[in-house]
Chains A and B, each alone.
Chain A
Amino acid sequence: MAMSSKNSYDKPVGVVGAGSFGSAIANILAKNTDVILYARNPLAAKKISESRKLHGLELNTRITPTNDLKFVAENCDVIFPIIPSENFPALIDDLSPFLKPYHILIHGTKGLIVSKDNWEADEEMKIAKDDVFTMSRLIREKTLAVRIGCLAGPNLAKELADNQPAATVVASHFDEVISEGQRLLRNDRFQVYGSKDLLGIELTGVLKNIIAIAAGALSGMGYGENARAMLVSRGLIEMIYLGQMLGANTQAFLGLAGIGDLVATCSSKLSRNFTVGERLGKGENLADILNSLEETAEGINTIKIITRLVKGYQLRSPITESLYKVIHGDMTIEEALRFLMKAPFSIDIDFM
């Protein structure tokens, strides 16, 4: 591996997850540092090594692909786990024996985990706030790592891969995690902002996927910008309420990772969640859509979790709940829209 920096302490940085976002982040990091990129599938790791290509993207020469988590943990102090939330618990189980209190973990996963087994099948099971885990909480409770952060913002993988200008937010309770994230990620095409509100920033990234699906659905039904603008702004308010319920502050939702990411994902066919919504809007069946997707659309799972969660608390989340009925087959997408248009919420802003 090339060790070519002036800095005397120059360990490579780990990226766990070779999906489209993971590889885009690996390429960005490789502008500043050596990178070890972990792929879960050994064959995939081998293929990446040989072809030096991933998702049609040329890999930077400073990236070393691997299939060995121990190798990642032993060689890297800083690790970016960027994998779908459904695989996160298993990854943590595998990685945890190698993690030490000096490791810094900055994750880029925009989903939630429910700690109860079998919650999806058992619809009567109650889900409380305490049962819902963000990735940072999962890392904190299941490993020895304490210096934990997350990455969120309008970062469509394809545009990052094309080296288009963009910005992101690194959030952590620790200043050193933020500054380390900034040092490693920042370049002249990529701006990195810092935030101390870890939970808030995580939740913006998670919750915006719900709204992205709704925006896609409107677009799939053939509606234009007025409809989208209505949805984005009402969606933001719903996100804020859900965020507050889960213990976050409002501020994060108004920044780059909130409004910023919402605008990007609600307008772009490059977003998987938007695409799922769009195809739903065109009348496709959910199972077919999910089968044809190459990567996970986190929003679907988030809708299920949030709908089950709000049941136990006195909170309305009309957009999420209607989408839940749609994906559950209890409502058509037109009915959902009609329902939302009639919803008796006439106050514009009441959260500030």
Chain B
Amino acid sequence: MRKVKRTPQVIDTSKTYDPILSDNKVWPVVKLAKNRKEFMERVIEESVRRVKKLRPNLNALIEELELTRYREKLRYKTNPWKVHPEDEVIFWNGVKSRLLDLENDEKKEKQELADQILKDIVSRYVHEITGNFKPSHYRLARRVITFGFARLLNAARIKKFGSFWRGDLTLQDKIQITGETEQLRKLAKIGTVVVVPTHFSNLDSILIGWVIHTMGLPPFIYGAGLNLFNMEIFAYFMNSLGAYKVDRRKRNLIYLQSLRTYSSMALQDGSHSLFFPGGTRSRSGKIETRLKLGLLGTAIEAQRINYEMNEEGRHNKIFIVPVVTNYNFVLEAPALIRNYLERKGQERYYMESDRYDKSGRILKFLFEFFTKGNNISVSIGKGLDLFGNYVNDEGMSIDTHGNRINTHDYFLFRGGISADAQREEEYTRMLSEVIVREYHRINRVQSSHLVAFTAFQMIRKKHKNLDLYSVLRLPLDEIEIEYEEFKKAFSKMRNRVIDLFNNGKVDMATHMTEDIDNVIDLGISNVGMYHSRRPLLKNKQGNIITQDINNMYYYHNRMDGYELEKFL
């Protein structure tokens, strides 16, 4: 085995963190909740201003309103959701008749009326987006998660209902937090933190919410897909944990501006936030390589506005903290990878549906997740400024030579801070590249991912002239990898991972350096362990076989992007 030149971080699961702000009255999210009305008014006013700036003349504005109404009608007709408000049809029909009436009005009144329609639409959107954070609910939800699930966990592990009330195992044993935890706590005290995790499972938001709480941080606000609010139990947790709602189907300008303004102003007010920059769950199981720039851009905008205001004593620096969740088992994996292959293979129209759409099912899901999904680790990355530079524990941006950077300078043009949307778009793109790099760097390689990767690559190599889809359609009984051969290949892959680890290009779990047969066994027994059809198994001869090659492909994808296959 290759020499390991640095020590993989050993996780101390007994570590506890004191809350950084013990008085919850000063939590930014509590302040936001308290001034909810006033905050929404500001967001509405600002969103209206922004839309009008983009559609400065009356005809363009009316056209935008027409388009919005049309698209909204299409949305609620073709894809009605439980979470839709009851007056949806009434509201948009009202907009329709008001727009029709406009035709007959005088020019001067026309502008006023159009402005009012715009304001009503924005106001509706902002009310929908705004979270309903209540500190009391937060405490309860938090207790349910930490207490309830820990108990469930015990019960399931020890297989006796009586053990439900015993406290042998805690959630913290199961969910391991690694990486720059202390720095994150410090940064949350000095400035505003935006946590940007990878997104593999529907459980991510609750998982990260738990991590944030366990680390002693005040609650973060985050954009959660409106579809999750279709399920009551999720809706309850989400609302309690400070979620605001994001409806990815609404792509009209007015909605997007309202959402962006909401996020930007909450950040300006110092609310720590959480974005899943990949947008939706990774369908392929790959770590995100292309991020959605919309919400990320609001952080850059908020930073610029903070510098423009430059108020004394204001917590005005915004930090980005990448986070990677490492699962050995993703319950939704089979559905996700099927969806991915369908989309990629045939580009055929696909209607998003969620298997877990009933609260009963979701409870079962949660139970399975917390009882079956064996250890999950969450890697906290180094803090970054919005321009991709690392920051130190005092929040100062530091360049590669170790010098301090005045980030204010990124917004200067001809001597003063200037607002340049195109420049900020470019900065957002640059930042997203750095976040992707950091994801790959802090990704904690588990044996489960590497056995899947090795096996799948060996199969691909053996069937060189088949394309991906043909490989995935190979008859399962034709797939059998001789163990010694597999071991040789796995050893090469592990050496390459150690090289990358030594160079700081990836992280790895402590178990990776153990005796190779043990590492392989651990990997095989953990990878997708509770799928009804296992991605990897050993047969009687000890050779490697599979029950579902799509699942194997899914877990294999986790190690995509490191060019490991070149070393096979």
Contact residues in A for B416 (Cβ distance below 8 Å): 9
A174 in contact with B410 (CB, 8 Å): no
**For B346, what are the chain A residues with a Cβ–Cβ distance below 8 Å?**
none
- Given A144-B399, A146-B387, verify A9-B406 contact (CB < 8 Å): no
Interface size class of A (residues with CB under 8 A): 10 to 19
Provide the bound-state CA to CA distance between A101 and B386, in Å. 13
A-B interface, 9 closest residue pairs, ranked by CB to CB distance from nearest: A102-B412, A101-B409, A101-B410, A102-B409, A175-B422, A9-B414, A9-B415, A100-B409, A173-B426
* Docked CA distance A147–B420 (Å): 13
Interface string of A145-159 (1 = CB under 8 A from B): 011000000000000
Residue of A nearest to B426 (CB): A173
B413 within 8 Å of A by Cβ? yes
User: With the chains together, A174 CA to B401 CA distance in Å?
Assistant: 26
A173 vs B429: C-alpha distance when bound (angstroms): 11
Q: Does any Cβ of A come within 8 Å of B407's Cβ?
A: yes
Q: A9-B415, A101-B387, A101-B405 are in contact. Are A146 and B410 (CB under 8 A)?
A: yes
Q: From residue 153 to 177 of chain A, which have CB atoms closer than 8 A to chain B?
A: 173-176
B423 within 8 A of A: yes
In the complex, how many residue pairs between chain A and chain B have their CB atoms under 8 Å apart? 40
Question: Hey, which chain B residues are within 8 Å of A176, CB to CB?
Answer: 413, 420, 422-423
Partner of A174, one of B406, B415, B422: B422
CB within 8 Å of B: which of A172-201? 173-176
Extra A-B contacts (18), CB below 8 Å, given A9-B414, A97-B401, A146-B427: A9-B415, A77-B414, A97-B403, A100-B406, A101-B405, A101-B409, A102-B409, A102-B412, A102-B413, A144-B405, A146-B410, A147-B423, A174-B423, A175-B420, A175-B423, A176-B413, A176-B422, A176-B423
Contacts of A97 on B, CB cut-off 8 Å?
A: 401, 403
List A contacts of B158 (CB < 8 A). none
Distance in angstroms from B208 CB to nearest chain A CB is: 30
**Which residues of B in the span 389-410 have a Cβ within 8 Å of any Cβ on A?**
399, 401, 403, 405-407, 409-410
A96 to B405, CA, bound (A): 13
Q: What secondary structure prevails in chain A residues at the interface with B? A: loop
29 example contacts (A-B, Cβ-Cβ < 8 A) are as follows A9-B414, A9-B416, A11-B415, A77-B414, A77-B415, A97-B403, A100-B406, A100-B409, A101-B406, A101-B407, A101-B409, A101-B410, A102-B409, A102-B410, A102-B412, A102-B413, A144-B405, A146-B387, A146-B410, A146-B427, A147-B423, A173-B426, A174-B422, A174-B423, A174-B426, A175-B423, A176-B420, A176-B422, A176-B423
Alpha-carbon separation in the docked complex, A102 to B411 (Å): 7
* Binary contact readout A9-31 vs B (1 if CB under 8 angstroms, 0 otherwise): 10100000000000000000000
Residues in chain A within 8 A of chain B (CB atoms): 9, 11, 77, 96-97, 100-102, 144, 146-147, 173-176
Please, which residues of chain A bring their CB within 8 A of the CB of B403?
97
Instruction: Please tell me if B430 contacts chain A, counting CB pairs below 8 Å.
Output: yes
**In the complex, how many angstroms separate the beta carbon of A43 from the nearest chain B beta carbon?**
31
Q: Which residue of B lies closest to A147 (CB)?
A: B423
A179 to chain B, nearest CB (A): 10
Contacts of B401 in A (CB 8 A): 96-97
By a CB distance below 8 angstroms, the chain B residues around A173 are 426
CB-CB < 8 A to B409: which residues of A? 100-102
> In whole Å, how far is A181's beta carbon from the nearest beta carbon of chain B?
13
Query: A80 to chain B: closest CB distance in Å?
Result: 17
- In whole angstroms, what is the CA distance A77 to B412 when docked? 10
- Give the chain B neighbours of A101 by CB distance below 8 A: 387, 405-407, 409-410, 412
Which of B401, B405, B414, B416 has most A Cβ within 10 Å?
Answer: B414
Instruction: Return chain B residues, CB-CB under 8 Å to A146.
Output: 387, 410, 427, 430
Please indicate the chain B residues that have their CB under 8 angstroms from the CB of A174 in the complex: 422-423, 426
Within 8 A of A (CB), among B423-458: 423, 426-427, 430
